[in-house]
Structure 1
């Protein structure tokens, strides 16, 4: 009996040992095959470092490989580096395949618009060029649990991952760990403090903070309190639709179809009601007149109203007669599904998978309703039915995107906390505050989607808003936790709900991933904590890789003066939007530069160019 017990214990020990597959140590262990994670690996590979990317699905690429083909960036050229490399490769792909004068090249909009499958191809191509340094493991799931992370003295030593195909646990050891997930799962497991929901206006005095009801394109309305809460902005899927009959797949009625969820759309269509600022000038009489107008076979005549499938999806053209179909900003009911996603950031993958199926069913049901419900005008249904899923996209998933568009998960509290002021001009015509530790410039509006479903007598959905911003700089500290010494967070970055709402775009995430890969390499080489690296060293490598750290309208990457301009501007020598290197320098500028540097500027007012004077001063300072 005693011998049997010993043998049983020995067997279980051996089985337990074999059930955990041990993998080689890497310089970087990256959780999440998002563009932010991919660029981290590529940037580190350029510095001679090895990485492993652990991606939960069977496809790398995150949202650009799952429908987000209309790149969200307000000022092209604000973000460059590896992001610009990605965009340039997109254009080259379409040019090589279809010809420089093709419709596809025109529709790719210089590489900023692309089909999901092409986005994945290009990201795979970029990774393949570093295959000796970058290992990719797909179908690898990290679950937030203390049993899946080993920490010692504020450092992550190893993590355990579930192989979703073999159902075995795998062990990954690294020198630096990177959380490139949209949710922030690794950072949470490492006990980095994070935020969820919306800060109130009283905390940071931010525009759009807290509870806001706002006409799209207009001002705040009734119900706005600016109070904080735990609400998370809504998710959806970025659909790839087409009206090309040869490549169109009919949207079928889902098994769990519930007509009651969509019936409020009926009156919106018949009357033309929407959430845009134009509704301020629309009367009840105008809505009833529009109903009669539509009954005669006409389309809606309410200002700002749209017809057909566009009533429920905002569509941006992509090559090959496809669209990036996002939530319709001017609709009370669209592809977003507010409220139900609130638990997502901190829930298990089992819960997330159930919600993903629910969201897919809801969206398919909405489209089917718009195309088939007889309570809607016949000519509306006919117009909506011109569209369907693209037959040649997501061919292993019934032509439906594989990943939920997680707009916001955990937001960690890092060395720097990004808020609205960081992307808002300090005075009309001027820049936002310039961060001397900038690792990228970026630009997108403060943009958040709804947190609640339709409510009676509201002008829009709670939290659905957009406010203008200016091209800004992003400090290194937003990706650096305060305590964990070997962890970087280039996707679930540090910021308020509204501050995060402008950073949370793929171009910025790619740039932050690039910075994370280089920072990790420097930390390894210098044997120091990631928060203690010399930021100037990081910036120098980034600039050499053509990353824009501070944006200028008249100096682009590739210019001979690019590095000088980037470094001197971050030091405060060029506060304006244009460097004007060819202009003669004036006495005021000479005085300003001498005061700032404590050095004599060798320049003659009105004769010496600004560029020559700046180069001379740069050489002295260096």
Structure 2
């Protein structure tokens, strides 16, 4: 299919979906979801699969948010944290590329999958409509008012339940729900990584002069440097971590459009890049960009080091800005980023080999075809954050506090990009970067996605949820948003059925249903046997428990001096019946033996499988990969097991997964 035909089909799909939404706009919906981000799509699909009438509203013209907007190198932390429809999404990505699961992908592949969910559940999408006001009766939202940026207009939408899946929290804010923008002081919640932080991460080298004319303060500061002074470490403010675009380029000569000089090009904006280069040798594009390869000769480019794609300090007004101001900020980021790409490829001060490397790349012809081949989504890493019944903090991330009402998990490092670039001791420095990990998956409270009942009884907020700045930096990952979107939708369904406020939903029942019906379609759930399940895992011989890496909280590692009597054995339910695909998790380790021996007993027959290290390719930011052991039929007899043997070598034993073959 040609690009022109694809673009026509896309436009027709948007028009038909908007007409479908408009035709039913006068009725009251069960669930209205604002923001067709990845969380919004999953929430809409879930609610519809449970038989509720649903309307999904999207201010733009695309679905999927950052997941279809260039963030193809999925930030996970630990795949154990990802469940339900979110996990199904990454398996559908895998199927597209001929794999079981895959966590790196092209933008259009993600958007196609999101459309598949919406079409399957028959969810109407109202595109190019954005919220202007919320009407309430007491603490109950009755309707939201909208303005159109497209050719058709729907002025208001009524619903029983509302779910705000926008990156900005616009429904939440207009509904009068308490929220915060910026960074809390460390003292507010007894944290250590919140507030002002001057670290070496993504930092400029020492000694860079901040002035337009070196050594002359009267000449003024270079572009991109604020006039403020460094505040006390850990102090709070209203500054927001930097936004950028996750950039998809192609080096396929048949699929690339040259990077030409953009409108509003201002090369003086990149003077700091030249000065950084003078202090730090620039060997390749990887020294200034995280230049990650995606399938089919494409990229997901992210910020790296002191001066890169992050537009530091230029987004502080964005969360609470009106739509006009937000568009100005968005356009400024577009001009800056396209200008940076052109600058690196053409400015004579850039080393020739770097210019040559950059000019191998161009905008992809087959992506974002209705937006001049440029992403439709600014990476709004953080905007408003709700102040709900419970605030997730650093203590929850690190496991020092544990919630019992978890309805999703997070596992990523506490991650904040820089918030400000200023002069410190006569040098240019970036401030705000934090990258602190070392902890396992942890639960996210249901109370963190629900407002205080006095403020809104029929609203759920799974994206701009209740968390401190630094905790949000761990939670704010696309697969986690999908998980929380599904949980929010099921909670909305339960609140409707129970005629209750969302705060009164039986969380234990919600947790059970998420586990028993993970895809919201009645299909059989996976059977996961992790190392921590002591009733279903037998350990023989000397194995140490490794707390970092692998799948889930830990994995087993043999000491390298064991014999064949040393093994880890995983037992499914002995009554299990039917055909299943069996996988074991192959952890990504710095040292690993060349061959891992696995035995599979289905209750009747024993089969041996050999995993060769060189045949397992770990892709993307993952802790390992699932390796298929084969298809097996269980009769409900015997005592089936999967066994990994030590064999006198260092061997890792991690989780075992059984997937019903009908999936």
Q: Which TM-score tier does this pair reach, normalised by the shorter chain? A: 0.7 to 0.9
Corresponding position of 1:392:
366
User: Are 1:582 and 2:537 counterparts?
Assistant: yes
User: Are 1:320 and 2:320 counterparts?
Assistant: no
Corresponding position of 2:191:
206
The answer (yes or no) to whether the contact 1:438–1:473 under 8 Å persists in 2 is yes
Q: Which of 475, 490, 498 matches 2:470? A: 498
Shift of 1:557: 5.9
Distance 1:449 1:557, change over 3 A: farther
Gaps of at least 5 residues in structure 1 are: 1-18, 96-104, 273-299, 301-305, 427-432, 549-555, 566-575, 586-608, 613-622
In structure 2, what is the Cα distance between the partners aligned to 1:169 and 1:245? 44
In structure 1, what is the Cα distance between the partners aligned to 2:337 and 2:382? 20
- Give the match's secondary structure for 1:111: coil
Distance 1:398 1:351, change over 3 A: same
Shift of 1:545: 2.6
TM-score by length of 2: 0.70
- Give the match's secondary structure for 2:121: coil
The answer (yes or no) to whether the contact 2:142–2:160 under 8 Å persists in 1 is yes
In structure 2, what is the Cα distance between the partners aligned to 1:584 and 1:244? 50
When structure 1 is superposed on structure 2, of 249-258 and 528-537 the one drifting more is 249-258
Shift of 1:580: 4.9
Corresponding position of 1:435:
403
The answer (yes or no) to whether the contact 2:276–2:307 under 8 Å persists in 1 is no
Shift of 1:449: 0.8
User: Are 1:423 and 2:397 counterparts?
Assistant: yes
User: Are 1:507 and 2:479 counterparts?
Assistant: yes
> Residue deviations 1:273-318, cap 9 Å, x none?
xxxxxxxxxxxxxxxxxxxxxxxxxxx4xxxxx6333333212221
- Give the match's secondary structure for 2:101: helix
The answer (yes or no) to whether the contact 1:308–1:384 under 8 Å persists in 2 is no
The answer (yes or no) to whether the contact 1:159–1:171 under 8 Å persists in 2 is yes
Shift of 1:610: 11
In structure 2, what is the Cα distance between the partners aligned to 1:21 and 1:126? 20
Shift of 1:395: 1.2
In structure 2, what is the Cα distance between the partners aligned to 1:150 and 1:210? 35
TM-score by length of 1: 0.75
Q: Pairwise CA RMSD of aligned residues?
A: 2.8
1:345-424 paired onto structure 2 within 5 Å: 345-424=319-398
Question: Which has the larger helix fraction?
Answer: 1
Corresponding position of 1:157:
142
Corresponding position of 2:317:
343
Shift of 1:384: 2.4
The answer (yes or no) to whether the contact 2:517–2:525 under 8 Å persists in 1 is no
User: Are 1:472 and 2:442 counterparts?
Assistant: yes
Distance 1:23 1:310, change over 3 A: farther
Shift of 1:379: 2.0
Shift of 1:376: 2.1
The answer (yes or no) to whether the contact 2:143–2:159 under 8 Å persists in 1 is yes
The answer (yes or no) to whether the contact 2:202–2:433 under 8 Å persists in 1 is no
Shift of 1:84: 0.6
User: Are 1:140 and 2:95 counterparts?
Assistant: no
Q: Which of 76, 91, 108 matches 2:94? A: 91
The answer (yes or no) to whether the contact 1:21–1:171 under 8 Å persists in 2 is no
When structure 1 is superposed on structure 2, of 148-157 and 261-270 the one drifting more is 261-270
User: Are 1:50 and 2:44 counterparts?
Assistant: no
When structure 1 is superposed on structure 2, of 250-259 and 52-61 the one drifting more is 250-259
User: Are 1:116 and 2:85 counterparts?
Assistant: no
> Residue deviations 1:403-442, cap 9 Å, x none?
111000110011210001101034xxxxxx4321110122
Corresponding position of 2:244:
236
- Give the match's secondary structure for 1:44: helix
The answer (yes or no) to whether the contact 1:437–1:475 under 8 Å persists in 2 is yes
The answer (yes or no) to whether the contact 2:193–2:470 under 8 Å persists in 1 is yes
User: Are 1:248 and 2:256 counterparts?
Assistant: yes
1:554-593 paired onto structure 2 within 5 Å: 558-559=526-527, 577-583=532-538
Corresponding position of 1:13:
none
Corresponding position of 2:70:
67
Shift of 1:546: 3.3
User: Are 1:269 and 2:277 counterparts?
Assistant: yes
In structure 1, what is the Cα distance between the partners aligned to 2:475 and 2:429? 24
- Give the match's secondary structure for 1:54: strand
In structure 2, what is the Cα distance between the partners aligned to 1:357 and 1:235? 12
The answer (yes or no) to whether the contact 2:80–2:441 under 8 Å persists in 1 is no
When structure 1 is superposed on structure 2, of 255-264 and 455-464 the one drifting more is 455-464
In structure 1, what is the Cα distance between the partners aligned to 2:74 and 2:539? 38
Shift of 1:25: 1.2
User: Are 1:334 and 2:302 counterparts?
Assistant: no
Corresponding position of 1:101:
none
The answer (yes or no) to whether the contact 2:169–2:385 under 8 Å persists in 1 is yes
Gaps of at least 5 residues in structure 2 are: 1-21, 207-229, 541-569, 574-663
The answer (yes or no) to whether the contact 1:214–1:460 under 8 Å persists in 2 is no
- Give the match's secondary structure for 1:239: coil
Distance 1:425 1:20, change over 3 A: closer
When structure 1 is superposed on structure 2, of 456-465 and 78-87 the one drifting more is 456-465
The alignment of Structure 1 onto Structure 2 pairs a total of residues equal to 493
Shift of 1:537: 1.2
Corresponding position of 1:311:
287
> Residue deviations 1:440-493, cap 9 Å, x none?
122100001111135455685111221003211111011000021100001110
Corresponding position of 1:530:
502
User: Are 1:177 and 2:162 counterparts?
Assistant: yes
In structure 1, what is the Cα distance between the partners aligned to 2:359 and 2:290? 16
The answer (yes or no) to whether the contact 1:79–1:547 under 8 Å persists in 2 is no
- Give the match's secondary structure for 1:453: strand
Corresponding position of 2:626:
none
In structure 1, what is the Cα distance between the partners aligned to 2:377 and 2:572? 48
The answer (yes or no) to whether the contact 1:188–1:194 under 8 Å persists in 2 is yes
When structure 1 is superposed on structure 2, of 515-524 and 350-359 the one drifting more is 350-359
Structure 1's consecutive aligned runs of 4 or more residues displaced over 6 angstroms after TM superposition are 221-224, 609-612
Corresponding position of 2:43:
40
